[in-house]
Structure formats: structure tokens, C-alpha cells
Amino acid sequence: MPAVLETRRRPLDWHALVVHALLLACVALIAFPLYYAFVISTQTVEQVIARPPVLRPAGHAVQNYLEAWTRAKMGRLLWNSAVVAVVSALGKIVISVLSAFAIVYFNFRGRTACFWLILVTLMLPVEVRIMSTYEVIGNLGWLDSYAGLTVPLMASATATFLFRQFYLTIPHEMVEAAQLDGAGPMRFLWSFLVPLSWANIAALFVVLFIYGWNQYLWPLMITNTEAMRVVVIGLQDLIPRTGTHIPEWNIMMAAAMMALLPPVAVILFMQRWFVKGLVESEK
Amino acid sequence: MKRSVFKNRGLPYLLVLPQLAVTLVFFFWPAFESLRLSFFRTSAFGDRVVFVGLENFRKLLVSGDYYQSVVNSFIFAFGVTALGVGAGLFVAALATQNVRGLTAYRTAVLWPYGIAPPIAGIIFLFIFHPSYGVLPYWLSFVTAYEFNWLLKGWVAMALVVIATAWTHVGYNIAFFLAGLLAVPTSVLEAASVDGAGALRRFRLIVFPLLAPITFYLVVVNLFFSFFSSFGMIHAVTQGGPGGATEIMVFKVYKDGFIGLNLGSSAAQSVILMLVVIGLTALQFRFVEKRITY
């Protein structure tokens, strides 16, 4: 393959053509599962099971989506997922901002210990302590409640770490200026730090929203009633397992499309913030 | 560095209180509880608890099922990591070439990150479906082999590996893009003037600069597939066929929540925590390295 600098002056840019072709192939490969799911969600059962497979959208979208909506009680499921995603993301951001603020702007006994206590939680994903966390929630009487669904997701070492790093970059003359003006710590936090970190907060919110929306193990364990289930779990009932069931994959895929749309839409609308949040929240 | 600070006495404690409360109640208490339970045998109704020392661990170490779940976890995690990181690097390298429409391409490859692994699993379940799926149909023209994940363990494993890598590829691409865009173009141009071709430039200049990010992504992908893939397994294969996709986190849940064997489940949790500590230590070494740059 010739180097970029030589090819740029030629009338036919082979390098660019090859790159475009490969990129399009990658996009097609990555997008195919979603396209396929969408196509199935618009077909009748006969079209779904037809051989050769029909890979064009058909005209049954409206019926399938309505059927999926009522059968899976999608309204309730989506509402619950939205509550979990928004509340856990906001909760995480609030408690992380507060604790990072305390750790950076105050000298208090046990400050280092607090920081390490929080940081160590990086090492304990919910999956590895699942049974005993379940017991704790049971003892608190929080099974089948929004509190049980959201509060345990709120401790976030990464968010605290991120805000701490950000506050450390803010010149400390600002604190002195605020103190000279007679502003108390809460005033300083609210009028200076929070406005300065809106970009970080927005970026983090996108990532945390997706994290909350896509939670599975935790809601699966601590909710028993249909009314409290989140959408990622509720979809299970629609999977046509082998046996006597009619293979209603069209209904399944219609429900899947509705369940995956909110987080994907958040990514597409807030792409700039999303990438920023992703790269920053993990470092 | 000396920082100006506020003088309040009680306020800082009030500020860290919510975070500490959540951390202590939902992280430390359960972690210690798991550690404690791992030394006991509990009857199924929880009414009798007997101290058994390291017996739960000893049983795990001689259990063929547990051994298989460890092997499955490694196959799964390394499969997802190799596929996800490899594909991520390939796509990101393409998406930083000097061509038009890069923003659109980048958006078009990032979004699978938003899809919950169980939902991705369901979609791939249908793509792989032995009677209705499009993939076995296409493959039937190439080979008469029956790609039935309900019967063949390795097909089921391939299914969950591909589906998991798919949900994570956007993440890997985002990091590689960030890394690639940080490579100074002047160095690349100089190399290009010296006659180094695209592949050679990538191998000699770009890849060494990307090594820290690659290492980070390998650790994160291993972490992710080891610990956060419960939903994928639960929604798609339930550990089957014949335990072929039963990974360690799924077994903790199955033995504890369904089998009610709390002691064994707790012992498995403790082993998983040790793995997490190992991976986190690796990650910290990386962070330290980054800081000295």
C-alpha cells in the first residue's frame, strides 16, 4: 500500500477507497444484529420462520409493537428502568461530588482513611458479593422496592475519584477569593465548583444512566413482583423457548427494540459527552 | 503542595457520610459476611449453621463442576477480550485514517455499548437459532455441520463470546480512538517521508504508543467478562448445554440462590474477590506507570 502523502495527489485515491470499503464493512458487521432484530420485529411469524430468511422490513411493525407493549406490560417495565437509571445516576453523582469536595477542601481526621475506604470498593463488584448483599437488603426490608433497586448502586469509587482529580486541578486562589468574599463552603461548592464541573457531570451522567438501565443481576435478585421488574429482565418472558410455543420472535424483537432504544438514543444524542465520560470515568 | 482549606469541623463528616454509609452497608458488610459464611455450612432453611473451617474451599478444589466453571470463565474472558480488543483496535485504526465522513463512521461503531448484554444475547440467540436463525442457514451452504448451540457446548460458548464482545466493542473503539488521536502526526509524517509504509508506521510507532491503553483495555475486558457477564449467561444459555457456558459468577448465583448452598456460594465469592484484587492490582500498576509518563 503506498504512503498517504504520495497518494493524496493522485486523481483516484486508492488508500481512501480501501479505508472506506473496510470501514463500511465494519459498520455493516457491527450494525447487522440490530438491523436484523429490527427486520424481524416488523414481520409476521410466517415471515420469521420462512426459509430462505426474509431480510427486508415488512409491514407488521405496528401490530407487533402494540402486542409486545401490552403483553410484556412495557409501560411499567420502561418506567421502572428509567427510575433505576436516573435515580442511581443522580444519586451517585451527588454523593460523589459531596465526598470528593470534603476530601479535597477540608482537613479532617480520617480523611485519608475515608478516601481509601471509598477507593477499595473498586474491588468489589456486586457480582462477587451477591448473596450477602441480598441478605443485607432483606434485613433492611428493602426487597421489591425502589430503594433496594437504586441505593446499593450509588456508591461509586470511580465517580468520586474523577471529581477529586478535577477539583485538584482548580487553582486554590479560587478558594481564597471565595473566602475573602465571605462565601462559606457550601456556597463555594454550589456557585463555583458545580458550575465548573457541568461538563464532567453531564459526561458521567450518560455513562451512569446506561450502567443503571442495563443492570440485570441485582434487579433480578431483589424484585419478585411484576410491578417492580425492570425492562432488561421483563423481556425474558417473551423468549420463545423450544417446545410447543409458537416462535413469536417478531414480538420478542419488537420488545427488545423498545428496551434498547433509550440507552442507544442517549449515546447518539449525547455522543460527545458519552465518549468523554467513558474515557474519563475509567481512568 | 499546600492547599487552602475550609475550617469547618463537622461539615466534612456530614459530606462524606452518604458515600461512607452506602459503602459500608452495601460493600463492606456483605464482603465480610461472605468471608464469614465461607467458613460455615448452612442448612437449606438457614436454621442450622455449623463451623466447618476450610471445608467449603476444599470441596470446591476437588469438585469437577467447579473446575469446569473456572476453565469456562477463562475461555469466555479470554475469548471476549481477544475478539473485543482486536476488533476495537482494527476499527479505531481505520477510523483515524485520513478520509471523509469520520464522525459518521465513529458514531456508527460506538452505539452497541448502550445495549444491555442480556438483550444483545437475545438478539444473537436468534441469529444463531438452529431452526430460524440466519447464521446456521448461511453456514449450511458452506458446511453440513450442525451449528446448534442447544446441543453443542462450543457453539453456545461462541454465541455468548461473540454477543458479549459485540456489546463491548464500542468501548474499546472509544479508548483506542482517544489513544490514536494523541499520536503526534509530525512523527508519522516524518516516518512517511522516510519511506515507511502504513503498516510499518503502525507497527513501529503507533503500536508502542498504544501499548498502555491496550494493556488497560485487556484488564478491563477481562474484568468485565469475568464479573459482569452474569446477565448474558442467565438470559441466553443458563449455563448449558451440559455446563459448557457455566462461568464462575453464574455458579455463585446458581449454588447460592437456587441451590441454597450458602457456604459453597460464599467460598466461591471469596475466590472471586481474590481474582478481583489481583486484576485491580494489575490495573493500579498501570495507573502508576501512566503517572510517571
Q: 3-state class of A106 per DSSP? A: strand
Q: Model confidence over B101-130: pLDDT tens digits?
A: 888 888 888 889 999 999 999 999 999 988
Q: Model confidence over A224-245: pLDDT tens digits?
A: 888 899 999 999 888 887 666 7
- R_g of chain A computed on alpha carbons: 25
Contact B199 A1 (CB under 8 A): yes
Q: 3-state class of A12 per DSSP? A: coil
Tell me how close the Cα of B134 comes to any Cα of chain A, in angstroms. Answer: 6
Nearest beta carbon to residue B30 from set A133, A252, A275: A133
Tell me how close the Cα of B53 comes to any Cα of chain A, in angstroms. Answer: 19
Mutate to test the interface with A, among B19, B202, B284, B286 (most CBs of A within 10 A): B19
CA nearest to A19, candidates B102, B185, B21: B102
Contact B107 A30 (CB under 8 A): no
Q: Pick the residue from chain A with its C-alpha nearest to B113.
A: A264
Tell me how close the Cα of A162 comes to any Cα of chain B, in angstroms. Answer: 14
User: Is the reported ipTM for this assembly greater than 0.90?
Assistant: no
The H helix count followed by the E strand count for chain B is 14, 2
Contact in structure between A214 and B116 (CB atoms under 8 Å): yes
pLDDT tens digit at each of 283 positions of chain A: 444 555 455 566 788 888 899 999 999 999 999 999 999 999 998 898 888 888 888 888 999 999 999 998 999 999 999 999 999 999 999 999 999 999 998 888 888 888 888 887 776 777 777 888 888 888 889 999 899 999 988 877 888 988 998 898 888 888 888 888 888 888 888 988 899 889 889 989 999 999 999 999 889 988 888 889 999 999 988 888 766 678 889 999 999 999 999 999 998 888 888 888 777 765 4
- Cα–Cα distance for residue pair A207/A200, rounded to 1 Å: 11
B110 in contact with A at a CB cutoff of 8 Å? Answer: yes
* Chain A residues inside the 8 Å CB shell of B84: none
* Chain B residues inside the 8 Å CB shell of A259: 116, 119
DSSP state, residue A2: -
B44 in contact with A at a CB cutoff of 8 Å? Answer: no
pTM, to two decimals: 0.88
